[in-house]
Chain A
């Protein structure tokens, strides 16, 4: 972390990218979503994307509020549909860098259908799924990524459903870059976001965040520092080799770029098809 910041000029101030009048943000004490917000904005700064070229789309939930704090083109849309709105936006305005910020419930249950089809189309969108394993904003209900045995307001006897491996879903559905990182590894998360944004095609990044107030407290996971440190001790970076051969286990996250393919980007293919259908309209 120390000397890797040579790419950051001394003049970089994250407040240039924030709607500072809305701060302090509404998220709870120690919520990892703030770290993800910083990583996203640092990545945008590093890539030299101006605020006019950036469009951030978010749905409903704790993660949905992220877009509101970014001083760029932002859409705060209906529950589960940020990828749908983003697909339309990207097709209409291919010059924009479209980043979707969504949560585990927003992306995998309410918007699960939209996720798999967005992955299948492989549009040049970056999807940041902030996974805190719970529906935080609505009061702590069980989510598709809640680990087995965990207590939530709707599973007072412990969750008995197995959880989703979101990265496997995205890979199987056809996303051309799939990665996962924990918030404690903030510079690595920033690098992963840089890679996903610069990748031509659908980039799916699962960010393992922590919900201290609603989830951690009920499950006795300790303070936010303890939660992010336990994520760190349980992570298995793909670069260590052999990590990807092991089965999915929540809490022991495989991190890094988990899969990559060079499938054709949807918008480019779409434009080629429309041009060939109407050759006289070519300009």
Chain B
């Protein structure tokens, strides 16, 4: 199914079975604020609403998600797997992480194309190495998800003058998929956001809504390509002077790649040369000055 088809045709009306919206993102993006807007909106319309969130490591850029369920009567605050009508993702990889929660046939994914690469995806310490960030692009995604809306919300928000209004841009997109009165959306957004940012947020909301309601979109923003290595990895030469090593075990214990070990005569040896990233930790901390690391640029290799 094409992402550029009209979304408002499939607007979801509140009904007996609850509507499930899963809002996901990275700490600091306003996930909880989006779910507050939804909650207030439902309260105004006399709907039953339950919301549940996890924001443990929010201030450290960790995962934040918020389950929002509303309808005539809602019993459980959490969305079962495979039951979400909409996943609203403020970060590309976070959206992909929560795909199993989407309804298979009708679920819609609204995702910001912004990428925030978390530190723990950079496991390979070698210079020029690839990080382990999710590489799935829009085309692949459209094959597995019924409806995908990829919007450069951060870019739109920057245009209206406040990068942090990206969440209201996404709310604007979301408003085109839910059956609430647009003027109510605006009132609630103005109520929830900080007073100084009302103008930027309302503008962002309009831009997001307009973008979603366009008949045809001239250019669909695609998520940026996964990063490619800029240059070949350096060649690392690690030399251990056997006669100088006293086998104190420091290098073995501190090596982040675990590529050193003590041999039978209590002398450090490089067990796995391919794993060595040339970080020099062992060289710095060798009390016997027995370890010598040379990092040679790749082009010098013969």
Contacts and interface: CB of A to CB of B under 8 A. Distances in A.
6 contacts: A5-B280, A27-B288, A28-B246, A38-B286, A225-B248, A225-B249
A3 B138 CA distance: 34
A1 B279 contact: yes
A34 B280 contact: no
Which residue, of B253, B279, B284, has the highest number of chain A Cβ atoms within 10 A? B284
A30 B292 contact: no
Interface in A208-246: 212, 223-225, 228
Contact of A34 (B125, B277, B287): B287
Contacts, number: 80
Interface in A143-198: 183-184, 186-187
A283 interface: no
A216 B72 CA distance: 70
Interface residues of B, number: 30
A38 B250 contact: no
A10 B250 contact: no
B218 interface: no
Interface string B62-105: 00000000000000000000000000000000000000000000
Given A24-B244, A29-B248, A225-B249, A37 B289 contact: yes
B249 A30 contact: yes
B226 to A, nearest CB: 22
Contact of A2 (B279, B287, B288): B279
Given A14-B289, A24-B243, A186 B248 contact: no
A25 B250 CA distance: 17
A3 B296 CA distance: 14
Interface in B258-302: 277, 279-281, 283-290, 292, 294-297
A29 B294 CA distance: 25
B284 A30 contact: no
A128 to B, nearest CB: 16
B220 interface: no
B249 A2 contact: no
